[in-house]
Amino acid sequence: MGALIIATGGTIASLPDPERGAVRPAVSGEELVAGIPELSRFGPVEVIELERVNGWNMTPALMLDVVHELRARLADADTGAVVTHGTDTVEETAFLCELLVGVEMPVVFAAAMRSGGEVAADGPRNLLNAVKVAASRESSGWGSLVAMNDELHSARWCRKLDSYRPSAFSSPDHGPVGAVTPDRLRISPPPDRVLLDTPDALRVEVPVVKTYTGMGEDLIEAVLDRTGAGGVVLEGSGAGNVPGSALSGIRAAIRGGVPVAIATGVPAGGVVPIYGGPGGGMTLREEGVLSAGGLPAGKARLLLMVCLSVTESVDETRRLFESSVDALAPGAFGNG
């Protein structure tokens, strides 16, 4: 028995710059572990320093590196693993691991809202809780989890909903799946996993376009032309609506064999096709736009990137994306 920790940086590994006061990644994974003597209860700790970046500087390629490292290290392991990460994108890397790391014991992400130089820094406790969960058989079957503020959130549902409070993470429409107390772990039974083939690389570019009132008719086509994208995710409003001026670009993308998916910027409820008229959710569905269901745009983007990387036709990509969205939110707000 022991603990495997993959370190990628983030606030949990950050300290204020003595000259400017700006917080930046400055602490190694080994130093993080050395500052938490209680971790010795779980046996020897192996730390892999994969990267040391802020969460907003994570890339899909680096996220996939985390996946490949975990798949290699956990193939024959009897415990899970912990990944330290920045909070800005932890829900996305955790979600990619949820889709691609098919092991019984969980991958638990530990992050922090307060750097190591602040009063009541939350990183050490979150990391200790994450190791507890990764080592516990009670958490088996859960895929990827995020351990923050003594709560456990499933990677498929969790969202960062506050910019600075330690209670920043929540799971709209679902709530936390467990809690870590000083003397025990409480966790719900896991849902069925959704596991996809793991690509060697995420080679297909998928931009996210946030729609807004009065957006230009040529914006979507301009984005696709500039990026050479193989897919696009739109972040709409309400139940998944976009300005009618976006329709010409959507139609052009779909005619050109580029899958288009719609997510909503609203945290709870997901995409529900209700409205007709230019840009309404029902109109988008009739045009062939894919629904991201309850996935936020960032997670929908990663799912579409994986689907494009492991399928050979647009029709296969569409089927895999739709079936994955439905399976990730059983009984909730899917493709309707």
Which of 11, 79, 84, 317 is flagged as catalytic?
11
CA 28 to chain centre: 23
Distance in angstroms (rounded) separating the CA atoms of residues 95 and 98? 5
The closest alpha carbon to 166, from 131, 108, 118, belongs to 118
Helical H runs in the chain? 29-34, 60-74, 90-100, 123-134, 219-227, 247-255, 281-287, 297-310, 314-328
Torsion of CA 188, 78, 109, 147, to 10 degrees: 40
Known catalytic residue at 181: no
* 129: DSSP letter: H
Distance in angstroms (rounded) separating the CA atoms of residues 107 and 125? 17
Q: Token pair for residue 202?
A: 């995420």
User: Known catalytic residues?
Assistant: 11
